[in-house]
């Protein structure tokens, strides 16, 4: 990973800001519930960062990320509960298993164009869900898998604040890794594939190879997030990995900004907070009614898509660029006045 390239491109300020927010955020909230929400945001951010590479840059719209999320969660969960494997080793095995599944699945499906690929990934997600429910001897079926152990370091269980720092440390590393890909020649090739696969292939580039590699990387990210999810809640249910969850991951990405690592994190943050807020309003004032919550969620996505097609991160970028321009203008004006006064004094 060439971190120097990222730093030389001026990304270090954003990374330092991110690091500062990671360190400060948990101490701004005394509620354990809000800390749980922040951990969830981190877990979902890992998924959306992978989706940003696959969909935002390579242009491959996947509706199956929740399937890879599930493979990571259940592989890690089954290995630790049924076979006594160390959770850390189980997470690594889950990532390898997911990479193999993604590779074998990607070879035929990535040959499909446009929405046919999306339908294939959606079918994959549905198959994973059906297998989880059907293989109840291993997965617990519709009742879910219980007793998944917590992650620990030297017999010290990671929970609450310690788990928060673990998750967001991983988010930070995944962000660095994603930025490295985006800033490298691979990122340029992915943008070329997004614009025109035919034009990119005429330059002697093996388009299929790059699409497959980025598909596997995004799947491994989702698997890692799934394992972290399982070991945090110590329980997983197949209903947490339906196609609707894959759609929610995509909504997070597009709301934040598909072609931006920061957009992926921003979208995961805003939509997770929005869902929690909607659930609280609906349960407190509307006597349940989860359908209304989903309706508001969908409405917010459509609103952002119409008003800000490049995502919320594009608005933030425009505002910061304007502020920089104004600051530079004021600075240069003051400098000109100072120089003028010096000439008058002479």
Residues ≥6 apart with Cβ < 8 Å to 150: 87, 157, 158, 159, 231, 232, 234
Phi, psi of 234 (to 5 degrees): 60, 15
Whole-number pLDDT of residue 287: 60
Whole-number pLDDT of residue 294: 67
Judge whether residue 289 has pLDDT over 70: no
Q: How far apart are CA 215 and CA 208, in angstroms?
A: 10
Structure confidence at residue 323 as a pLDDT band (50, 70, 90): confident
pLDDT tens profile 232-288: 999 999 999 999 999 999 999 999 998 889 999 999 999 898 888 877 777 776 665
Per DSSP, the three-state class of 187 is helix
Judge whether residue 220 has pLDDT over 90: yes
Judge whether residue 337 has pLDDT over 60: no
Whole-number pLDDT of residue 23: 86
Helix pair 207-233, 161-183: axis angle to 10 deg: 170
Task: Check: CB of residue 76 under 8 Å from CB of residue 91.
Answer: yes
Whole-number pLDDT of residue 172: 95
Task: Check: CB of residue 102 under 8 Å from CB of residue 227.
Answer: no
Q: How far apart are CA 115 and CA 106, in angstroms?
A: 15
Judge whether residue 67 has pLDDT over 70: yes
Any idea how long the chain is? 346
Q: How far apart are CA 75 and CA 246, in angstroms?
A: 19
State in Å, rounded, how far the first CA of the chain is from the last one.
55
Helix pair 185-195, 161-183: axis angle to 10 deg: 80
Q: How many CA atoms lie within 13 A of 235 on its CB side?
A: 6
Query: Is the model more confident about 1 or about 140?
Result: 140
Task: Check: CB of residue 64 under 8 Å from CB of residue 220.
Answer: no
Q: How far apart are CA 273 and CA 253, in angstroms?
A: 14
The whole-number average pLDDT for the span 274-303 is 71
Judge whether residue 30 has pLDDT over 90: no
């Amino acid at each position: 990973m060439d971190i120097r390239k990222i730093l030389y491109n001026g990304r270090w300020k954003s990374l330092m800001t991110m690091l500062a927010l990671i360190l400060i955020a948990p101490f701004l909230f005394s509620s354990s519930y809000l800390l749980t929400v922040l951990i969830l945001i981190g877990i979902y951010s890992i998924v959306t960062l992978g989706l940003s590479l696959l969909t935002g840059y390579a242009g491959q719209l996947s509706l199956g990320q929740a399937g890879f999320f599930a493979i990571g969660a259940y592989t890690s969960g089954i290995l630790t509960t049924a076979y006594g494997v160390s959770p850390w080793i189980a997470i690594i095995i889950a990532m390898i298993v997911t990479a193999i599944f993604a590779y074998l699945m990607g070879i035929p499906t990535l040959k499909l164009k446009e929405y046919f690929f999306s339908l294939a990934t959606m079918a994959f997600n549905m198959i994973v869900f059906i297998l989880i429910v059907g293989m109840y001897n291993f997965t617990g079926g519709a009742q879910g898998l219980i007793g998944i152990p917590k992650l620990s370091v030297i017999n010290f269980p990671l929970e609450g604040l310690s788990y928060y720092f673990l998750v967001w440390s991983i988010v930070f590393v995944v962000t660095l890794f994603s930025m490295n890909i985006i800033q490298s020649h691979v990122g340029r090739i992915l943008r070329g594939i997004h614009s025109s696969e035919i034009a990119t292939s005429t330059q002697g580039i093996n388009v299929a190879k790059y699409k497959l590699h980025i598909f596997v990387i995004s799947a491994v990210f989702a698997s890692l997030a799934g394992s972290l999810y399982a070991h945090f809640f110590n329980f997983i249910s197949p209903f947490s990995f339906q196609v609707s969850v894959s759609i929610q991951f995509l909504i997070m990405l597009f709301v934040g900004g598909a072609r931006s690592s920061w957009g992926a994190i921003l979208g995961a943050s805003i939509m997770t907070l929005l869902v929690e807020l909607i659930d609280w309003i609906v349960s407190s004032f509307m006597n349940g009614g989860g359908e209304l919550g989903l309706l508001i969620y969908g409405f917010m996505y459509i609103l952002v898509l119409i008003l800000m097609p490049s995502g919320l991160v594009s608005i933030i970028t425009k505002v910061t660029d304007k502020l920089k321009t104004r600051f530079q203008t004021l600075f240069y004006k003051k400098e000109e006045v100072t120089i003028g006064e010096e000439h008058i004094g002479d």
